[in-house]
Amino acid sequence: MMMPPAADGQIDTFYEDDAYDNSIPDVQKVTKKNNTLPVWGNQKTMNLNGLVLENVLQCTYYKQVLAECSTYQQIVDEIYMHVRHLEPWEKGTRKVQGMTGMCGGVRGVGAGGVISSAFCLLYKLFNIRITRKQLVSMINSNQSAYLRGMGFMYIRFCQPPSDLWAWLEPYLDDEDTVDPRSGGGDELTFGQISRMMLTKLDWYGTLFPRIPVPIQKDIDEKFRERNRQALEAQGYDEERTGYNAQRHAIREMEKEHDRKRKGSPAREGEKKHKKIRCDHHLRHHHCRKHRKDCPKRAKAAKAAEKTNENGEEKMDETDGQKN
């Protein structure tokens, strides 16, 4: 059962312990027994890249401001006020020029920059060990898209890989948008973000924890099954889709054959008629004087030569017929 928003604007979410309620994903059902979230991977680093974690711990904002925040509501207020993107680095502060090899920057190794408020607050949420109820309220919030994005990142970084599909699958068709890029210009829906988190490791200059191969194969198979169900819902089955694809391929092959066939309209239209040049011009192609037009005398001599040749050929044919 969803509770209405509290007076301070925060969504207070609570689900009853009802095993037969299919409208709520099992992983989001909150009870007294399961309200404590499990933590997967490193219990201290939150599975963050070493360079990102080092910059978080050395950041003045984390050491001074967030040190005084000890409750979930205080951190949520900081997210409302300070988070404007979901990248680990502030725009223009990380320099990777001149870095080679493993320091190239794609995998979060190299020269650091100014760590973002989002990752400082994300690590602070990890340290206070937020509950399942609090995480559910984050990812279902209608107050801030960045609060939702922080909840999605928390799930991807420190929740067990076996639970990722249960957490993110309900949001694959979510059309609400957020811009994770520092400086803007990369607006994504939460459905796209959920798909990225389930299929990719890169996240704007850092890496998510690697999903074990058997679990990743299972996730990929669930995506394929989901796509098949979507096609069936639209009235297509695999046999019909394959038959139509085969017919389309055959038609394309026939069109390609027609284009290559001698005398076809498609091929005739592609031909470019070249300017006919006489033998004299070809012999003197290097001469600037004869580059475009051949001398009249040369043309006349060539025409007379051809006339004589034609006359001799006709005489030979006549003699052959008489004999």
Are 194 and 152 in contact, with CB atoms under 8 Å apart?
A: yes
Q: What is the pLDDT of residue 109?
A: 43
Q: Is the whole-model pTM more than 0.85?
A: no
Report how far Cα 186 is from the mean position of its chain's Cα atoms. 11
| Number of Cβ atoms within 10 Å of the Cβ of 28 | 17
DSSP 62: I
Residue 8 has pLDDT above 90, yes or no: no
**What whole-number distance in Å separates Cα of residue 29 and Cα of residue 86?**
27
Among 198, 211, 187, which residue's Cα sits nearest to residue 86? 187
**What whole-number distance in Å separates Cα of residue 272 and Cα of residue 87?**
55
Q: What is the pLDDT of residue 92?
A: 82
215-273 pLDDT per residue, tens: 999 999 999 999 988 888 776 555 555 556 767 777 777 776 665 555 555 555 555 55
| Number of Cβ atoms within 10 Å of the Cβ of 95 | 12
**What whole-number distance in Å separates Cα of residue 136 and Cα of residue 248?**
47
Report how far Cα 20 is from the mean position of its chain's Cα atoms. 38
Percent of residues, the chain, with pLDDT higher than 70: 66
**What whole-number distance in Å separates Cα of residue 292 and Cα of residue 282?**
11
195-207 pLDDT per residue, tens: 999 999 999 989 9
Phi, psi at 183, each rounded to 5°? 95, -10
Q: What is the pLDDT of residue 292?
A: 60
Write out the two tokens for 243: 């038959």
24-52 pLDDT per residue, tens: 788 888 888 889 999 999 999 999 999 99
Residues 6 or more apart from 263 whose CB is under 8 A from it? none
Q: What is the pLDDT of residue 249?
A: 75
Q: C-alpha angle with apex 102: 101 to 108, nearest 5 degrees?
A: 135
Q: Mean pLDDT for the chain? A: 80
Which of the two residues, 143 and 256, has the higher pLDDT score? 143
Residue 19 has pLDDT above 80, yes or no: no
Residue 69 has pLDDT above 50, yes or no: yes
**What whole-number distance in Å separates Cα of residue 197 and Cα of residue 190?**
10
Give the largest CA-CA distance in the chain: 123
Which of the two residues, 310 and 97, has the higher pLDDT score? 310
Beta bridge partners of 178: 188
Q: What is the pLDDT of residue 279?
A: 66
| Number of Cβ atoms within 10 Å of the Cβ of 94 | 21
Residue 314 has pLDDT above 70, yes or no: no
Which of the two residues, 113 and 291, has the higher pLDDT score? 113
